[in-house]
Amino acid sequence: MFDPVIAPSGTLLGLLQRGRGDGTLHALTAPRSEALAALNHCVLRDPRHDWQVENRSLYYARLYLDLHGELDAIEAHLFDAEDILDTDESRTGLALAVLGHLASYGRWDALALLRRYAAHGTNWAWALDELALRDDDAGLRALAAPVLARFATDAEGEAELAATVRDAFEPRPWRLWADDPRASIATRVRAAQETGCFDRWQRQMRPTGPRPGWSVQAVFEWAQQGIERGAALHVPAARCLTAVAGPEDRPEIVQAAKDGTEGARCTALRYLADCNDPDALTLIQGAVATGSAVVAEAAVDAFERMRSLAAVDRARGWARRPDPLGAAAGRVLACRGGVHDRDTVLAALREAVRGEGPDAPTLWTLVDGAGRLGIACAAPVLRHIYRETASSHLRGRAARALAATDPSFGTGFAVECLWDCEETTREIAARHAETGDTRVVERLRRLAADPAEEAEVQTAVRSRIGPEETAV
């Protein structure tokens, strides 16, 4: 997928792209045409850097409802000629997910669009999954013929159909179609289901990779084969070593960690770190200094997994290093350091923002550490990350850290977090937002009554207001 261009955080478009609660609040006070234009821009050009983990669909669907937004722009996007040329599901996935939520809120125009796209669109499987959760049996049965028509009736087409049925995210439509009164449909789907089950059984009977009886050297060779074909296998290989290696194999593993092949070295470092081997920290330091980029990255990852007091003590000595090991040391202290490590974690947090910006991957752990250690002086940096990051997950972590470090959180960011795109962030807000603000009380009531809201959020809401106040 393309790298999205994110507008400045002070603009309506930038707020909506980030999924911030202020985006909804600003959109509701902006001219309706301007708000809908920004909303359509977000839905049709997915702004998420990682669309598989960040939430936006419910956030945008709720705003469509509040703005009484038409779906013409989504319809034009779904059925544009580009749908045939660009088959990447990320082009239409967000729009389809938004339509799914709108359908669950009773928007029949959204349901009709999903049905039409499932019958004729390229990313039909996604639309079918949305319908599987929300459509009735009659609506799904009407799609059986157009969906099956996508698959040829020759051997290759039937094999493709079987794989599609086997890997379907939501099996409900296929189960309905297997019992379809039309023999031509039911027979074909049942045959595909049987073939898929047989394929799954065959894969289970023919496993690849390490097996009982392998030697330590065989595990190293398997890890190296993965490196050569571009697959990082040192993590599962290290788990295999746990099963096949004995005390007598330690010298061979230590030697591999010093000067083995890339696959063997990564595997040995991971294994020794997980075992808290007394030489693991020295070997990790050596790997960062002398190993390839792959080995150095594996060494840093192995170090961050260590839980021993020795690893924490070593992190205190490495924290000022201007290299990946120094950055990792800061993250280790953020996760496992004590109150006397606050200054080091704060320095690492400030340096990461200054050097890499508000979306730096290292910030996830450092932000958590600032909250865990209660670093009050970190609040200004956390507020900056909250405002500027394009990652809704990182913003949620910043909100959690602010709740622990910033006395003004309950009357400040916590209020807008009630409209945030991430349910975990809304849950934090539900627990901390001051109810002296009338917007907070009304929003809590709405969240408590919304059937689409996550159970954890509603539990947090009900811990703040009584049952009689949830009625709308």
Helix, strand, or coil (residue 278): coil
Rounded Cα–Cα distance for residues 258 and 415 (Å): 53
Q: How confident is the model at residue 194 (pLDDT cuts 50, 70, 90)?
A: confident
pTM of structure = 0.89
Q: Are 43 and 72 in contact (CB under 8 A)?
A: no
Domain shared by 136 and 267, yes or no:
no
Q: Are 382 and 398 in contact (CB under 8 A)?
A: yes
**Of the residues 271, 306, 341, the one at which a domain ends:** 306
In 145-222 the beta strands, taken as DSSP E runs, fall at none
Q: Report yes or no on 47 lying in a domain.
A: yes
User: Which has the higher per-residue pLDDT, 295 or 213?
Assistant: 295
Quick one: which H or E segment has residue 320?
none
- The answer to whether residues 123 and 91 touch, using CB atoms and an 8 Å cutoff, is yes
The sign of the dihedral angle between the CA atoms of 459, 465, 470, 472 is negative
Same domain, residue pair 199 and 223:
no
Residue 96 sits in the same domain as residue 241:
no
Q: In sequence order, what E strands does 147-219 have?
A: none
Whole-angstrom Cα distance, residue 15 to residue 39? 10
Give the C-alpha separation, 360 to 135, whole Å. 41
How wide is the angle at C-alpha 57 spanned by C-alphas 52 and 63, nearest 5°?
155
| 3 secondary structure, DSSP code | P
Contact assessment for residue 9 and residue 388, using Cβ atoms and an 8 Å cutoff: yes
The answer to whether residue 337 sits within a structural domain is: no
CB of 254 closer than 8 Å to CB of 275:
no
Determine contact, residues 221/285, Cβ cutoff 8 Å. Answer: no
* The pLDDT of residue 209: 52
Query: Band of the pLDDT at 177, cuts 50, 70, 90?
Result: very high
Please tell me the total count of domains within the chain: 2
Q: Where a domain ends, among 166, 182, 205?
A: 205
Whether residues 32 and 166 fall in one domain: yes
Residue 314 in tokens: 């070593």
Residues 277 and 294 in one domain: yes
269 is a domain residue: yes
Burial 139-170 (b: 16+ CB within 10 A, else e): bbbebbeebbeebeeeeeebeebbebbbebee
- Is 456 within the bounds of a domain? no
Burial of 406 (0-12, 13-18, 19+ CB in 10 A): buried
Q: What does the block give as tokens for 408?
A: 């003004």
pLDDT digits (tens, 9 = 90+) for 211-235: 556 788 999 999 999 888 888 889 9
Is it the case that residue 406 has pLDDT exceeding 90?
Answer: yes
Q: What is the largest CA-CA distance in the chain?
A: 74
Structural domain including 225 reads 207-306
Do 196 and 213 share a structural domain? no
- Shared domain for 29 and 126, answered yes or no, is yes
As given in the structure block, the two tokens for residue 391 are 């990652």
1-57 pLDDT, tens digit per residue, is 457 889 999 999 999 999 999 999 999 999 999 999 999 999 999 999 888 889 999
Answer yes or no: is 462 within a domain: no
**What percentage of the chain reaches a pLDDT higher than 70?**
94
Residue 235: C-alpha distances to residues 66, 220, 342 (Å) = 47, 11, 32
Taking only the tens place, the pLDDT of each residue in 331-368 is 999 999 999 999 999 999 999 999 999 999 999 999 99
pLDDT at residue 201 greater than cutoff 50 = no
If asked whether residues 182 and 226 sit together in one domain, one would say no
345 lies in some domain: no
DSSP conformation letters of 211-247: -TT--HHHHHHHHHHHHHTT---HHHHHHHHHHH--G
Q: Which two tokens stand for residue 234?
A: 């040192």
59: pLDDT strictly greater than 50: yes
Tokens of 461: 């809401």
- 124 and 232 fall within a common domain: no
